[in-house]
Structure 1
Amino acid sequence: MILSPAWKGRKYAVLGLARTGRATVEALLAAGAEVTAWDSREDAREAFAGRVTLADPVETDLTGFEAVLVTPGVPLNTHPIKPHADKFGVPVIGDIELFAQAREHLPPHKVVGITGTNGKSTTTALTHHILKTAGVPTTMGGNIGLPILGQEPLPEGGVYVLELSSYQIDLTYSLDCDVAVLLNVTPDHLDRYESFEAYAAAKARLFEMNTIREDWGRVIVVDDPMAATIASRTDCVFDVGSKWLANQDPSHLSLQLHWPTLQGPHNAQNAAAAIQTCRSLGLDWTDINRGLRTFPGLPHRMERVGERAGVLYVNDSKATNTAAAAPALAAFEKIHWIVGGQAKEPGLGETEQHIGHVTAAYTIGEAGDAFADALAPHCPVSRCGTLDIAVHTAALAAKPGETVLLSPACASFDQFRDFEDRGDRFRALVHALADSEATP
């Protein structure tokens, strides 16, 4: 558990007791803080009965409190906690800010912060994997893996690799990353920000908190227009787009051909960012190349879940907007595309440039009809409604050498708990196809 002696005897309020909130409360209690905590779920509150003061911070006199901690899922633009805390002059922060405060009490280490609309999970996991295979003590947290405060401190020389959403950046004020990475900024989460520019500014704050270090710096994939704009305003930048990767020495990199889980142009960008990050941390090409070759990939991100009758089935459920779905459409040909869910934006967005790869489309969820109407001029469309019907229909239509791709370009909350639940369901449906094929 990561702690700071500075928390001892101070008063904190914690709103939200899911995984991150629980880890935050446990760390504060272990450090000797006084904690007021709340969650709308009774079972979540009961887990802390007798250990904390159970009260809603929105209805609490916050005089004398050090901070209110909220989970990234609390919308600061609409939730009453922010104006309530402001009345008492109490900051609203997250667990990443507590980690930043605890850093001075940890063994000497470095922190990598990785943000971007798309690709940050892959880049975070890849950077962590390269470091780990090179023998560097490392862990990953933030928006991926276990809550950072619940993890054990790394020994001297360790590297904390943090995936950071814009929401998490909004809730920290002192996270000074040794290497900060911005992959891209495309329209997303606009229900939480007044404009696209405000969302981009939230991402850019990761750099604004940085101390400029000689021979260190910020890694930005400048193939993305907004990232390039932010790069133009930022000192000590390593520009690492696809052209940068193409200009590296192929005898060292062996190029993407030999990175089995990092195919497609988007993964070229993710790999470029991870490579430059690890170079900034002092790794040599041999160690970096070993990590690129052995990276296992992430579930739900262009995950090959099986092959049936010569047809490949790919789970890209994590593609929750059109910019995230476009790379998968670019990476495969003769695609039977399962698309739809809870739309974050109108139209086909960045997927439109790859429609030529789509043999047929199968629409699901709330946005199913809108996608069907948009795709009808380009390819045959089946309005399936649900994922099980879509998988079954696509399996009947697909021919050997073709790909059935779940890359929904939408959020999952209309029909599933989250994108993992959606991807798990797709995987189960594909495996059921294989089982039925094997049944005499």
Structure 2
Amino acid sequence: MIASPAWNGRKYAVLGLARSGRATVNALLSAGAEVTAWDERSEARAPFEGRATLADPVEIDLTGFDGVVVSPGVPLNTHPIKPHADRFGVPVIGDIELFAQARGDLPPHRVVGITGTNGKSTTTALVHHILKTAGVPTTMGGNIGLPILEQEPLPEGGVYVLELSSYQIDLTFSLACEVAVLLNITPDHLDRYNGDFAAYAASKSRLFAMQTRGQNSIARFTDARSLGQFAEGSIASILEDVFKHRDIAASEQADWPSLQGPHNLENAAAAIEACDILGLTAERIREGLRTFPGLPHRMERVGEARDILYVNDSKATNTAAAAPALAAFDKIHWIVGGRAKEPGLGECEQYMGRVTAAYTIGEAGDGFAEALTPHCPVSRSGTLEKAIELASQVARPGETVLLSPACASFDQFRDFEDRGDQFRVLVHAITRSEGI
């Protein structure tokens, strides 16, 4: 567990007791803080009975509190906790801010912070894998893996690799990353920013603004030029230039089986630059790229039958995220739909020449069917099960059945993981029935 003696004797309220909230309460209590904790679910509150005060921070006097720690899932633009805390001059923060406050009490280390609309998880896991393969003490957290406060401190020389969503950055004020990475910015989660894309982009770029002189930032040239929020004296690297200067060629991507497609080339460039800054040799980095196993639900190859490849890209919850998968394969039977985040095909339209047929599902199924009809044959399948059944009947050897929905999952599934898991189960049923 990561905790700080600086929290001893201080007062905090914690709103939301899912994974990061539970870890936060435990870390604060272990450091000697006085904690008020709350979650609407009684079962989430139960483990803290007798250990913390159980009360909704929205309904109590916050005089004397040092912070209200909220889950990243709490929408600050609509939830009453922010104006309530503001009345008492109490900051609303997240667990990443607490980690930032605890850094001074940890063994000497470095932090890589990675944000962006798409590619965060893959790049975070890739940097972590390259470091681990090279023998560097490392762990990953933030928006991936275990909550960071739940993890054990790294020994001296360790590197914490953090995936950071805009929601987490909104709750963070003092995290000065030795290496900060912004992969890309495209419209997403705009409901949390009242439809204002500029506000969403500004949230992402605050990862750079928190840095100090001599720390390193990595971004695409177009984003770097438009953001203009780099800390004075920080050292900027441009993603587009990485393969020109780091003794690793873009053509080597063929040797990285879990990093195919144009988007993964960009993810790899970010990881290469970050690891070069951290002092790894090109050979060490190259070995990590070659052995990276990939992540579930991100262009995950889940099976083959009759020389037809089945790919689970359920994490693609908007058109910008789905487009790279379309760019990575040919002769695609595309399963698309769910709860749409935007109208139309967006960035996917440029790759329609790679799509042999489409199978639409979920709430957005009819809208996608209309948009796709000028480009390819379309089956209005409705459900994932029906889409896979039809696609497996139509697809021919050498073709790919791709689940890359370009939509959120909540109309028919618990989350994108549930959608991807069900796709995997259905594919395995096909491969078993064909004796593969």
The Cα offsets for residues 169-197 of structure 1, whole Å up to 9 and x where unpaired, read as 00000000000000000000000013111
The residue type paired with residue 199 of structure 1 is Y
2:419 corresponds to = 422
Alignment check: 8 A CA contact 1:245 1:268 kept:
no
Tell me the matched-pair count: 433
2:303 is aligned with 1:340: no
SS for the counterpart of 1:199 is helix
The Cα offsets for residues 49-101 of structure 1, whole Å up to 9 and x where unpaired, read as 11111111111111111100001000000000000100111000000000000
Residue 286 of structure 1 and its aligned partner are, at CA, apart by 1.1
Query: Alignment RMSD, CA only?
Result: 1.5
Alignment check: 8 A CA contact 2:208 2:229 kept:
no
Alignment check: 8 A CA contact 1:36 1:53 kept:
yes
SS for the counterpart of 1:74 is coil
Residue 414 of structure 1 and its aligned partner are, at CA, apart by 1.0
Partners of 1:97 and 1:307 lie apart in 2 by 44
Alignment check: 8 A CA contact 1:72 1:167 kept:
yes
Alignment of 1:3-402 (within 5 A): 3-194=3-194, 195-213=196-214, 216-222=215-221, 225-230=222-227, 236-241=235-240, 244-245=242-243, 248-250=246-248, 255-402=252-399
Residue 217 of structure 1 and its aligned partner are, at CA, apart by 1.4
The Cα offsets for residues 87-144 of structure 1, whole Å up to 9 and x where unpaired, read as 1110000000000000000000000100000001111000000000010000000000
TM-score normalised over the length of structure 1: 0.96
1:435 corresponds to = 432
Residue 231 of structure 1 and its aligned partner are, at CA, apart by 6.0
TM-score normalised over the length of structure 2: 0.97
Alignment check: 8 A CA contact 1:300 1:317 kept:
yes
Residues 354/231 of structure 1: CA separation in 2 closer, same or farther (3 Å cut): farther
SS for the counterpart of 1:12 is strand
2:409 is aligned with 1:409: no
Residues 233/142 of structure 1: CA separation in 2 closer, same or farther (3 Å cut): closer
Alignment check: 8 A CA contact 1:220 1:231 kept:
no
Q: Which runs of 5+ in 1 are unaligned?
A: none
Partners of 1:284 and 1:253 lie apart in 2 by 17
The Cα offsets for residues 10-54 of structure 1, whole Å up to 9 and x where unpaired, read as 111011010110000110111111111111111111121111111
The residue type paired with residue 170 of structure 1 is D
Residues 3/233 of structure 1: CA separation in 2 closer, same or farther (3 Å cut): closer
Partners of 1:205 and 1:265 lie apart in 2 by 27
Partners of 1:328 and 1:87 lie apart in 2 by 47
SS for the counterpart of 1:47 is helix
Alignment check: 8 A CA contact 2:339 2:409 kept:
yes
Alignment check: 8 A CA contact 1:336 1:358 kept:
yes
Partners of 1:247 and 1:177 lie apart in 2 by 23
The Cα offsets for residues 210-248 of structure 1, whole Å up to 9 and x where unpaired, read as 0021xx4101133xx44542269665210012x542665
Partners of 1:178 and 1:126 lie apart in 2 by 17
Partners of 1:237 and 1:395 lie apart in 2 by 47
The Cα offsets for residues 366-412 of structure 1, whole Å up to 9 and x where unpaired, read as 11111111101111111111111111111111000000000000111
SS for the counterpart of 1:401 is coil
Stretches of 4+ aligned residues off by more than 4 angstroms: 231-235
Partners of 2:132 and 2:126 lie apart in 1 by 10
The residue type paired with residue 208 of structure 1 is A
Residue 437 of structure 1 and its aligned partner are, at CA, apart by 1.9
Q: Which runs of 5+ in 2 are unaligned?
A: none
Partners of 1:257 and 1:290 lie apart in 2 by 13
